[in-house]
Amino acid sequence: MLFYVIAILVFAADQAAKWIVRTNMQLGEIVPFWEGHLTFSYYENSGAAFSSFQGYGKYFAIVAVIFVAAVFYYRRKGELRGPLLEAASGFLVGGAAGNGIDRVLYHQVTDFLIFGDGGGILNLADLAINAGTLLFILHLIVEQVKSRLHKRKQIN
């Protein structure tokens, strides 16, 4: 259930935020929000992260569909269990679906968040993908620690 709640909330929040940006800002408009910490800037990205592979967004939509299908496949097999993996996969699927639907409908992704003094422009789907990746890494670390503790108990 955690997986579905997170995936749906991420997807809905991402799409709502992008709609607000597209309807209330001009392309290229910059709105300082929190001096030195957060700026809103309306940008349309037809490529991938860091504006790489411009014009190839449709291929990333295919990757998103394959990724989401793979997550559902492994969930059905029971290989993505536990709160960390449920949350991680929910964030990843919600983010992939949010950016994927943009690529299918608009052939580009709406980005609008700049943190600090630059270094990239993101959207909520991107943030969710980053959160999901961090949770997945945390899961791997936790499992590694559990495995080592279990092996030590067997030795003693």
The sheet with strand 30-34 has its strands ordered as 30-34, 38-45, 109-115
Q: Per the residue annotation, which of 14, 102, 117, 126 is the catalytic one?
A: 126
* CA–CA gap between residue 58 and residue 56 (Å, rounded): 6
Beta-carbon contacts of residue 79 (< 8 Å; ≥ 6 apart): none
Residue 117 falls in the annotated catalytic set: no
Output Rg (C-alpha) for the chain, integer angstroms: 18
* CA–CA gap between residue 48 and residue 59 (Å, rounded): 10
Q: Per the residue annotation, which of 14, 102, 111, 117 is the catalytic one?
A: 111
How is residue 46 annotated by DSSP?
A: S
Residue 111 falls in the annotated catalytic set: yes
CA distances from residue 103 to 57, 65, 74, 75, 116 in whole angstroms, order as listed? 6, 11, 25, 25, 27
Active site residues: 111, 126
